[in-house]
Amino acid sequence: MGERKDARDEQFQSFVIGRWPRLMRTAFLLTGEQHAAEDLVQTTLEKVFVAWRKVGAADDPEAYVRRVMINAHARRHRRRLKEFLAPKDDSGLVREVPDAGDRIAQADDRSALLKALAQLPPRQREAVVLRYWEDLTETQAARAMGCSAGTVKSNAAKGIAKLRAIPGLADMVTQGGRNR
């Protein structure tokens, strides 16, 4: 029994270490604030750890964890906690290092994009983040959000349209966006 628990703990630890940067990026894009993102990831990992036997045996543990994160974020939003995508003083924050293939993260003016993203309603923001930052298919995003693929498609399209309407962002959105 102890050996199986140790192996499960090691498997969970390996999962967290390997996915930490991506989890933090997704949480930051959902919450808009470094500390809130850290709290969201911590809450998510607490829930996942308790159910790790089930999660680790799943076909796609990362999708399971992403769903837990989206649900935790939605619960927080329902409680009407205020979110800020552009902190007033971000001088003490550690800067995210963009993935090599992440065109939007490499844009010169990410602050404009983050401010624009903050203006989107939560479901549109979730759809845009999952589809275009996490590069999920509509089906994968629908599973993560707990809705239909059509709802994801609609929310993502509305969110991208709002981003495209902001002067200066159209080029960034067009480079990062894809039709699926």
Give DSSP secondary structure letters for 102-147: -TTTTSS-HHHHHHHHHTS-HHHHHHHIIIIIS---HHHHHHHHTS
Does the pLDDT value for residue 88 go beyond 70? no
pLDDT class for 109, splitting at 50, 70, 90? low
The total number of residues written for the chain in this structure: 180
Burial of 165 (0-12, 13-18, 19+ CB in 10 A): exposed
Does the pLDDT value for residue 180 go beyond 50? no
Q: For 119-172, what is each residue's pLDDT tens digit? A: 889 899 999 999 988 889 999 999 989 999 999 999 999 999 998 888 766 655
| Contact indicator for 148, 162 with CB cutoff of 8 Å | no
Does the pLDDT value for residue 116 go beyond 90? no
pLDDT class for 173, splitting at 50, 70, 90? very low
For residue 175, the number of C-alpha atoms closer than 13 Å in the C-beta half-sphere is 13
Q: For 24-73, what is each residue's pLDDT tens digit? A: 999 998 888 889 899 999 999 999 999 998 888 888 889 899 999 998 98
Instruction: Give the CA angle between residues 180, 23, 91 to the nearest 5°.
Output: 110
**Per-residue pLDDT averaged across 71-88, rounded?**
61
Does pTM top 0.75 for this prediction?
Answer: no
Does the pLDDT value for residue 177 go beyond 60? no
| Contact indicator for 81, 33 with CB cutoff of 8 Å | no
